[in-house]
Amino acid sequence: MSTIQDKVVIITGASSGIGEAAAKELASKGAKLVLAARREDRLHKLQEEIERNGGKAIYKVTDVTSHDQMEELAEYALKEFGKIDVMVNNAGLMPLSPLHEKKIKEWDTMIDVNIKGVLYGIGAVLPSMRERKEGHIINVSSVAGHLIGPAGSVYSATKFAVRAITEGLRKEEYANNIRTTIISPGAIATELPETISGSELKSAIDDFYKIAIPAESIARHIVFAIEQPSDVAINEMIIRPTNQEL
C-alpha cells in the first residue's frame, strides 16, 4: 500500500498547473484531496475527473489572500476528513515588470498571494498538526527564489520570502514531527506567464518558456516528498528543464 493512501492533502491553486497536476497524481496514490482555488468551475471539473477515476476529492472556493477564508478551508478539511496530513501552498502569481514602471497594484498582489497566502495557509493548518504532532507543509517557491533577474525584483523577493518562511518553520516545528518542503520550479508549462501585463516582456518570457516542462514534472516531486517515511524530510528541491541555464 502507498504511504500516501488515505492522507488528507489540501492544495491551493488547484484549478490549474502544478496544483491540478499534483491533485491528480496524489489522488491516483489514494490521497483524500481538499482542492482550493478561486475558479469554482475548474475545481468542480477536477473533482469530477478525480472521482470518475476512483479517487476522493472535495473542494472549497478560496481566496488565499483572505485569512478568514484560509481558516475556513482548514476547518472544512477537518470537518470532512477529521485531519490534515499535508498542506501544499501552491497558489502564486508572476506579473513581472521593471521597478521603474511602478506597477504598485501588481506588487501588492504578488505580496498578498505569494507571501501572505503561504503564511495564512501555514497558520490555518499548524494548530491541528501540532496537536497531532505530525504533518507536512509543502511551499512552492521558484528558481527565482534563488536568483534575481531584470523585471523580477518583486517576484523574486516573494519567492525568497517563501524559502525563508519555510526554513524558519522547519526550525520551529521539527520537534513536533512536522515536515517542511520547499519546491523551487524552473520553467514549467503553466498559466504563470499569463499574469505579465507588459507585452514586450510577456513576449520575451513566452519565448523563454518554450523549454518549459509539464506540470506533472513537479507533481511527481511533491508525491516523492510526501511518500517518504515519517523520519525523512525532503527539505528543498530545485526542478528545472534540463536545458534551462538560469
Residues tagged active-site: 155
Question: What are the cell numbers at 213?
Answer: 516542462
Question: What are the cell numbers at 110?
Answer: 504578488
Distance CA 174, CA 179 (A): 7
- The C-alpha angle 196, 17, 212, rounded to 5 degrees, equals 70
In the DSSP assignment, the letter for residue 143 is G
Distance CA 208, CA 97 (A): 16
Which residues face 10 on adjacent strands? 34, 87
Helices (H) and strands (E) in the chain, counts: 8, 9
